[in-house]
């Protein structure tokens, strides 16, 4: 399970647990994430989400690009 915290432009937090590839794909299509080191940055609104490990980053990339 992945937990993503997405802080929207109006300072609201959207926190979700995503267990399936479909849910992750929807999230990533909605918010074009760019992977930068241990961070995910949303291209649309610029939010940054820190990841705990490079392995988690790689899992997220695999889940959303497969």
Q: What pLDDT is recorded for position 56?
A: 66
Q: What pLDDT is recorded for position 62?
A: 72
How many CA atoms lie less than 13 Å away from 7 in the CB half-sphere? Answer: 8
**Domain boundaries, given as residue ranges, for the chain:** 2-65
| Tokens standing for residue 21 | 């590839």
pLDDT digits (tens, 9 = 90+) for 31-60: 445 444 555 666 555 555 655 556 666 776
Global pTM reads 0.28
């Amino acid at each position: 399970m992945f937990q993503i915290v997405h802080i929207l432009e109006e300072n609201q937090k959207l926190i979700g647990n995503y267990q399936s590839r479909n849910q992750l794909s929807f999230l990533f299509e909605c918010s074009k994430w760019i992977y930068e080191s241990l961070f995910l940055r949303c291209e649309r609104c610029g939010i940054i989400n820190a990841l705990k490990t490079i392995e988690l980053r790689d899992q997220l990339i695999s889940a959303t690009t497969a």
